[in-house]
Amino acid sequence: MSHPNDQDMVNYARDELGRYKKFRIIEHCKECPECAERLIEAAREHGPEPEPFRLSKWNKISIVVMLVALLAVAFGMYWLLSSVGESTSRDLFDTPVPEGMPAPEVSPEEAPQEGGRPQDADEQRLG
């Protein structure tokens, strides 16, 4: 059995081989540790982008998204606080409320009487 050449290894690593050729290389590597090593080497050098790069790319994106979200939250809080401060100060300056507002006094005449004093009526009837 002939060893697959380096180009075949590279093509395998790049996933550019047909199913049959890949199968043949795999079958060969099962019986030929030397070529298995070569295949691993080829995959290491010519394989598709390794995972860490993709992960870091996605990490960057997620970090950016998180930063944007944090900034949005920070701006939202700042806007909320500043708008609340403006409204309270504006209320204080535009419509000053006197501190000792006159409480509604209940005069004794207007105080509700309870029951209309039935005892007096009984005394008058009796006496």
Task: Considering only the stretches 7-15, 26-34, 83-91, 99-107, report the one whose residues sit in contact with Zn ion under the rule CB under 5 A.
Answer: 26-34
Q: How many CB atoms lie within 10 A of CB 25?
A: 22
Measured from the CB atom, is 1 or 106 closer to Zn ion?
1
Measured from the CB atom, is 3 or 21 closer to Zn ion?
3
Measured from the CB atom, is 3 or 24 closer to Zn ion?
3
Q: Which of 21, 22, 24, 32 binds Zn ion (CB under 5 A)?
A: 32
102: left (phi over 0), alpha (psi -120 to 50) or beta: beta
CA distances from 63 to 30, 66, 73 (A): 43, 5, 15
Provide the binding-site residues for Zn ion, judged by CB under 5 A. Answer: 3, 32, 35
